[in-house]
Amino acid sequence: LERLQCLNESREGSGRGVFKPWEERTDRSKFVESDADEELLFNIPFTGNVKLKGIIIMGEDDDSHPSEMRLYKNIPQMSFDDTDREPDQTFSLNRDLTGELEYATKISRFSNVYHLSIHISKNFGADTTKVFYIGLRGEWTELRRHEVTICNYEASANPADHKVHQVTPQTHFIS
């Protein structure tokens, strides 16, 4: 959560507050509201690889509730300029006031995620977007990072490196 980033939030740091435990999803004291327009962009780095299975998003009971959500995987430090590219998955959202409507992700696309970007591109017509809760469901596995291996590749073999024991042919006659 310390490295989670929310772009276009009206209050600095309020984007982190919507990622809370399931039991606290109905707590409406913590929310994020967009600043200049209806768009919000969350950059979520994970500490390992995640198989993302579902996402829940809860908003207000008015036109400030998000109506479209676009997911991008493994694009660290994503900005609004990067939202022009094709998303990995797009959802048309329904109003959810209880935080119980889960949107299933394409597991084949989201099986090896180390960074997730959530772009809320539209709402139901208000000037700003308001979100109270975002829940992610999936499986976490430890991130395995392979160290750099230093290798030497030979364009042509050096005969001194490859000693071959000479085999002298012997012929045996049977009489």
Task: Give the CATH number, domain containing residue 32.
Answer: 2.60.120.470
Show the domain range for 125.
Answer: 5-142
Q: What average pLDDT does the segment 1-17 reach? A: 92
Domain annotation covers residue 82? yes
How many domains, the chain? 1
Domain annotation covers residue 153? no
Q: What average pLDDT does the segment 82-86 reach? A: 94
Domain annotation covers residue 169? no
Domain annotation covers residue 166? no
Per the model's pLDDT, the better-predicted residue between 149 and 72 turns out to be 72
Residue 1 — pLDDT band, cuts 50, 70, 90?
confident
SS3 call for 111: coil
Domain annotation covers residue 119? yes
Domain annotation covers residue 149? no
Domain annotation covers residue 112? yes
| Residue 62 · residue 129 · CB < 8 Å | no
Model confidence, pTM: 0.79
Task: Answer left, alpha or beta for residue 141, where phi above 0 means left and psi between -120 and 50 means alpha.
Answer: beta
Domain annotation covers residue 172? no
Q: What is the pLDDT of residues 14-53, one digit of tens each?
A: 999 999 999 999 999 999 999 989 999 999 999 999 999 9
Task: With residue 152 as reference, give the H or E element that holds it.
Answer: none
The residues pairing with 170 across neighbouring beta strands, listed in sequence order, are none
SS3 call for 83: helix
